[in-house]
Structure 1
Amino acid sequence: MTSETTTEAVRGGARVGPDGFHVPTVDISAYVGEGDAAARAAAAAAFDEAARTVGFVQVVGHGVPDDVLRGFADALDGFFGLPLEAKKAYRTPPEVNRGYSPPKTESLSLSLGVAPSNRMHDFFEAFNVGLAVSDFPGLDLPLADYPENVWPDEDLGAAGFRAAVSAYFDEAGRVARTLTTLFADALGLEPGYFDAFTGHSVDVLRMNNYALEPGAVELDGDLTGMGAHTDYGIVTVLWADQVAGLQVLGADGSWNDVMPADGALLINLGDLMARWTNDHWMSTVHRVKPPIVDGTIRRRRSAAYFHDGDIDAVVATLPTCRDADGTSAYPPVTVAEHLRAKLAGSRAGVANAAAAREAARVLAAGEA
């Protein structure tokens, strides 16, 4: 299967991009194993080029075992295959970024302050787990930002839901930390630069399902699987089916279909990395438009691991990425301030007023 597909068409009132849009592939095996300096330098340079031009990368050589991926997919199927009422038993309040989110209870575009026509309209369902207060004994961390997980009682999947999800969570976290090591090299920083900002990182794994039960969503008019948004933190590690749906906003304002290449994880950068680099590295706007075949939403699953940084860390533009006059488009912000505004938009319906730059790109592409 090809790594990306691009078409010239009109979908949902917005142009889908022309041929030529390309998500580069970067082999990070030199950072996973004992790669030599030249191999690491080549990987860092390739990632830097992709981060400056696209903001999305196909990463291979990541080292995630196939059996972990198979067990994880099996666990997702087990949970999302439960009756809706059973899944709702694991729902949490909007301010708690854990547990189950039913269809049409969120709107990702509000994380950018862009109000959709019918408010909470994204039709995907999701289940979130993340690092919790109990994972950092001895640190006085806010429970609101590091809530404990809500695990299903059912023994789902061959290995059990919690065991299979935890195994993948650990692997995705390893990949994210490997990438921040690469980031320091790519940006010419001292080795391990980002370690000081990620010792108790707010990391969340969001598992998404777009193939809902018949009757759960009315197939009338334009459907939004997940509204246009940027990711919030440092870096996102995305596992997904090789099924169309994910669309990335190109520099020319076009939407471009993207799916993972064989054996690849899709990597994209978040807003905090854009702030650090003063937009030298791109936090790219993306969305999910559901593939509908014969009047039915085609099966599609994904899981995004968000590596977002320490809640008390202050993110300020790197000196090497400031404008010629020493200024930056972004003022310093704590991870807490940034994440809370974003999550209040997507989960609680409070439009984020602090994302004007990203919102302008969405509106220019005709997404509202």
Structure 2
Amino acid sequence: MSESFDVPTVDISAYVTDASDESKAAVARALDEACRTVGFIQIVGHGVPTAVTDGLAQAMDDFFGQELEAKKAWKRPAKENRGYSPPKSESLSYSLGVDPVTRMNDFFEAFNIGSSEADFPGFVDATGDYAANTWPDTPGFEERVTTYFAEARRVAYTLQDAFADALGIDRAVFGAVSDHPINVLRMNNYALPPGSIELGADLTGMGEHTDYGMVTVLWADRVEGLQVLGRDGGWHDVMPAEGALLINLGDIAARVTNDEWMSTLHRVKPPIVNGTIKRRRSAAFFHDWNADSVIHTLPSILEHSEPLYAPVTVAEHVQAKLRGSRAGVKNTAAEREQARVTSAAR
């Protein structure tokens, strides 16, 4: 791995505080550079109170700290993308059509909530992507998680405005396709009971994958494990600075920009300390646009390049990826991302 790999840090406070146009333009330029060169960014000045992220972490601890059978009571059908996912029930590499070492091998467990049909008055869910949430009876869980969800959503929309500015387009272009988005918060816990692993095996915390939407807002522990695929074909360790949020682009951003911006390939490898997997937590907020919107490259970009992707609806794209990761049906529509994975150093 190259020691020169670096995740840029961008202070977005100019957008959070509605500062001068000049200050916002400087932030937009910094984001544009990061999106073109890395696709993974640390942001500070995001305005999310520490008390909110602490509350999220406590809610995750309270839920994931229960016995497995108690957590399984909150499991939902995979197609609904809500509720609890037990360890080894998914394989994210299938979302790219890449075979994992062992089928459905990712050992993380997760709990998902997201935007529901009821969140958008007058909207009718025609695709099944806006299922109602399941809330476990863990005291304080719903309140703490929904508080963080609202903050992460605000950050995602703030970044979307900054992205529009960076690309030189009217913010209304992105706003028109995100008035009833498939926003999902996935809370992840990377831990296994002692004795449940074979040391020396090719263990997978979360297989290599790209995220599906426009932008992901990630809160994560400052624990080893997260790796990003660099332009050099190598995997590089990433750890958030204290108080920072990690931001990565998803497939929508890559398709909209015709790969001028990078849909970041990443994975989680389990850190093993003294023969034990060190626990790691993260919470990824996926901003995935409206299910019925069509993902296509911006006309301004096609003025100087040929399209690399065929138009597809958000629902079609997301469901193909979910059938891979959660149902084990290899995604055959991710050729460009798959090629990046297979050419990378393992």
1:28-70 CA-to-partner distances (Å, cap 9, x unmatched) read: 1010112101110000000000000000000010000111111
Asked if 2 retains the 8 angstrom alpha-carbon contact of 1:123 and 1:217, the reply is: no
Q: Quote the Cα distance in structure 2 between the aligned partners of 1:94 and 1:316.
A: 27
The answer for unaligned runs of 5 or more in structure 1 is 1-16
Match among 303, 307, 324 for residue 283 of structure 2: 303
Per the normalisation by structure 1, the TM-score is 0.92
Shift of 1:113: 0.5
Q: Who is 1:177 aligned against?
A: 157
Scaled by the length of structure 2, the TM-score of the pair is 0.98
- Does residue 240 of the first structure (1) align with residue 220 of the second (2)? yes
Q: In 1, are the aligned partners of 2:203 and 2:270 still within 8 Å (CA)?
A: yes
Match of 1:321 among 281, 284, 301: 301
Residue from 61, 72, 76 that aligns with 1:92? 76
TM-superposed CA distance for 1:219, in Å, is 3.2
Distance in 2 (alpha carbons) for counterparts of 1:30 and 1:193: 21
Return the alpha-carbon distance in structure 2 between the equivalents of residues 90 and 37 of structure 1. 47
3-state SS of paired residue (2:286): strand
Shift of 1:153: 1.3
* Rounded Cα–Cα distance in structure 2 between residues aligned with 1:191 and 1:94: 34
Alpha-carbon separation, structure 2, partners of 1:203 and 1:191: 19
- Displacement of 1:193: 2.5
Instruction: Please tell me the residue identity of whatever aligns with 1:328.
Output: P
Query: Are residues 1:47 and 2:31 paired?
Result: yes
Q: Residues 127 and 19 from structure 1, CA distance in 2 versus in 1: closer, same or farther, beyond 3 angstroms? A: same
Aligned counterpart for 2:239 among listed residues 238, 248, 259: 259
Secondary structure of the residue that 2:47 maps to in structure 1? coil
Aligned to 2:56: 72
Counterparts of residues 144-223 of structure 1 (less than 5 Å): 144-155=128-139, 160-223=140-203
Native 8 Å contact 1:105 1:120 kept in 2: yes
Answer yes or no: is the 8 Å Cα contact 2:127–2:315 preserved in 1: no
User: Which residue is 1:142 aligned to?
Assistant: 126
1:117 aligns with 2:97: no
Q: Name stretches of at least 5 consecutive residues in structure 2 with no aligned partner.
A: none
Cα deviation code 1:88-147 (max 9, x no counterpart): 001111212001101100000000000113210000000000011111231111362111
Q: CA deviation at 1:321?
A: 1.7
**1:302 partner SS:** strand
Q: Which amino acid aligns with 2:338?
A: A
**Which residue pairs with 1:12 in the alignment?**
none
Give deviations 1:191-210, integer Å, cap 9, x for gaps: 33210010000000000001
Give, in angstroms, the shift of residue 263 of structure 1.
Answer: 1.3
Q: Which residue pairs with 1:27 in the alignment?
A: 11
Q: Deviations over 1:246-281 (max 9, x none)?
A: 000011110000011121100000001100000000
Q: Distance in 1 between matches of 2:170 and 2:110?
A: 38
How far the C-alpha of 1:215 sits from its partner, in A, is 3.6
Q: Given that residues 93 and 99 in structure 2 are in contact (C-alpha distance below 8 angstroms), is that contact kept between their aligned partners in structure 1?
A: yes
Per the alignment, residue 8 of structure 1 pairs with none
Letter of the structure 2 residue corresponding to residue 61 of structure 1: G
Q: How large is the Cα RMSD of the aligned pairs? A: 1.2
Equivalents in 2 of 1:216, 1:73: separation in Å? 25
CA contact (8 A) 1:133 1:143 kept: no
Q: Is the 8 A contact 1:129 1:149 kept in 2?
A: yes
Q: Is the 8 A contact 1:108 1:345 kept in 2?
A: yes
User: Within 5 Å, which residues of 2 pair with 1:283-298?
Assistant: 283-298=263-278
